[in-house]
């Protein structure tokens, strides 16, 4: 294998940096609840809580209902959607296991005077509930699941794949067969 001079490597490194180096490392956690088991109109038993929040770094291992401050969040109960732009956080606590995965939580967010979304699995209470002006839908027996989505893996992987493609392209450019002249 021959050594490639530094100037030929530079475009690949620049591409990797452009594709793989996020401006800010962050982690998004996504929640999907189960269908409501009780509902009053406009809620139905097909509705459920779904949402996500983003924080600057992955959650630490072995947290015990620690209060966190997400940079962004969006939760919906199908009837209402509450985000950091229109909502207020009343409670945002999570517990994690030894791998940093969410195992317990208590999240309550509101649009003051209009809507409330709550999802809880904090050892004492379990359930999801959406509410607007005194009418609610919920599932008080079966909590949903959380999935972390690290924000840096996809751009880094894209950068590495681009670098690999460039290296292979350059390797084979010098070994193309030359067409034979006809006599």
More confident residue, 168 or 94: 94
> Residue 148's pLDDT is what?
86
For 6-39, the pLDDT digits (tens) are 444 444 444 444 444 444 579 999 999 999 999 9
Residue 33 has a pLDDT of: 96
Instruction: Look up the pTM and report it.
Output: 0.70
Residues of the chain with pLDDT > 70, as a percent, come to 68
pLDDT of residue 92: 97
Does residue 81 have a pLDDT over 70?
A: yes
Nearest alpha carbon to residue 112 among 137, 89, 92, 136 = 89
pLDDT, average across residues 93-113: 96
Q: Find residue 74's DSSP bridge partners.
A: 52, 83
- 67: Cβ–Cβ under 8 A, 6 or more apart, which residues? 92, 93
Tens of pLDDT along 116-171? 999 999 878 899 999 998 899 999 989 999 998 865 444 554 555 565 655 665 55
Considering only CA atoms, which of 34, 137, 132, 51 is closest in space to residue 94? 51
Distance CA 33, CA 138 (A): 10
Looking at residues 62-66, what average pLDDT do you find?
96
Q: What is the pLDDT of residue 111?
A: 96
For residue 151, what are its two tokens?
């924000």
**Average pLDDT, whole number, for the chain?**
81
Domain ranges of the chain: 1-22+152-170, 25-150
pLDDT score for 133: 84
Give yes or no for residue 1 having a pLDDT over 60.
Answer: no
What span, in angstroms and rounded, lies between the C-alpha atoms of 59 and 147? 12
Averaged over 95-104, what is the pLDDT?
95
């Amino acid at each position: 294998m021959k050594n490639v001079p530094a100037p030929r490597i530079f475009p690949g490194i620049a591409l990797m940096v452009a594709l793989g180096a996020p401006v800010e490392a962050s982690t998004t956690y996504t929640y999907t609840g189960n269908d409501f088991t009780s509902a009053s109109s406009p809620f139905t038993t097909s509705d459920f809580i779904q949402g996500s929040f983003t924080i600057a770094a992955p959650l630490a291992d072995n947290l015990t209902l620690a209060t966190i401050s997400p940079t962004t969040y969006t939760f919906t109960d199908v009837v209402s959607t509450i985000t950091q732009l229109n909502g207020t956080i009343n409670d945002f606590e999570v517990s994690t296991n030894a791998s940093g995965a969410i195992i317990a939580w208590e999240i309550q967010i509101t649009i003051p005077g209009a809507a409330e979304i709550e999802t809880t699995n904090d050892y004492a209470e379990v359930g999801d509930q959406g509410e607007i002006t005194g009418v609610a839908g919920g599932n008080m027996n079966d909590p949903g699941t959380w999935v972390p989505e690290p924000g840096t893996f996809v751009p880094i992987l894209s950068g590495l794949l681009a670098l690999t493609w460039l290296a292979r392209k350059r390797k084979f450019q010098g070994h193309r067969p030359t067409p034979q002249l006809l006599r």
